[in-house]
Structure 1
Amino acid sequence: MACSLPTGPARLTAGGALVVVFLSLVGCSDGGPKVVPVSGIVTIDGQPLTYGHIQVLPTGWRPASSRIGSDGRFMLTTTVSGDGCAVGTHPVAILAGESISTEATKWHAPKKYADSKTSNLTVTITGPTNDLKVELTWSGGKPFTEKFEREGGTELQGLGK
């Protein structure tokens, strides 16, 4: 929702002047939380994660997401490109499964990170930042390819971690 104030020779009443002052103090919004610019890096075992997407999931508000670049960096978007993320502490998911064929997915990070309920990841956003760090670990594992077998038109999950 965009904010606009009267332009031209419009006459402000006392009530109208109060609205102008209020809007200039709090800014315009569509009723949601404050969204601030957020960018950073995702690492796995200390090295940049080179493939995937990050999702930050504020409760009761729009998710913020970004593609993770080949250098591990991301810039979150909630409604318009690069606008950031809502202030607060939020669960995070890292989607790092690359479809390499209709029967196989290469996992660049453990599958547990793909769901905010199993990732055990959260971020706390207090204001604009360009150095948010999200650290993942293989916990002794390594990248792997998960294969699916087709049997009678049904996909069956194959080997994987």
Structure 2
Amino acid sequence: MSGRPSSGEIGGDGRFRLSTYEPGDGAKPGKYSVTVTSYQVPDDGPTYNSLEDELQGKPSNAPKPSIARSKTPQATWLIPKKYSNRSTSDLAVEVTGGGEDIELALSSSP
């Protein structure tokens, strides 16, 4: 599966709208591997320079190594973490270009 990636934010109702070139323009027709990232960080949690740093637990405002890391608030995953990585997510969809809704069925089993 190849092509231009799309991304979007998940709303409180679980719905999402993808963007490829401009906000809300959807995904181009084709077959896609899908990743989903959904977690909650306490308000006093760390900040990150990128999503990759966040997934790897590398905050930009990290305490110096001499300070215990256990004091850094941890993110609570709202979905199984396996869906956040292309190598472990088993989700795939085909977009036909008709503006249809696509339902993603996430399972908590490994």
Q: TM-score range by the shorter chain?
A: 0.5 to 0.7
Structure 1 counterpart of 2:105, which letter? E
Counterpart secondary structure, 2:20 = coil
Higher strand share: 1
Normalised by the length of structure 2, the TM-score is 0.67
Normalised by the length of structure 1, the TM-score is 0.47
> Following superposition of structure 1 onto structure 2, how do residues 4-43 of structure 1 map, counting pairs within 5 Å?
none
Structure 1 portions without partners, runs of 5+: 1-57, 141-161
Structure 2 counterpart of 1:132, which letter? I
- Displaced runs of 4+ in structure 1, greater than 4 A? none
* 1:70 alignment counterpart: 12
The answer to whether the Cα contact below 8 Å between 2:28 and 2:97 also exists between their aligned partners in 1 is: no
* Shift of residue 62, structure 1, vs aligned partner: 2.5
Looking at structure 2, the residues matched to 88 and 132 of structure 1 have their Cα atoms a distance apart, in angstroms, of 13
Looking at structure 2, the residues matched to 67 and 122 of structure 1 have their Cα atoms a distance apart, in angstroms, of 18
The answer to whether the Cα contact below 8 Å between 2:26 and 2:99 also exists between their aligned partners in 1 is: no
Deviation digits for residues 87-106 of structure 1 (CA, Å, limit 9, x no counterpart): 11110000112222232111
One of 42, 67, 78 as aligned partner of 1:108:
78
Percent identity, aligned pairs only, is 37
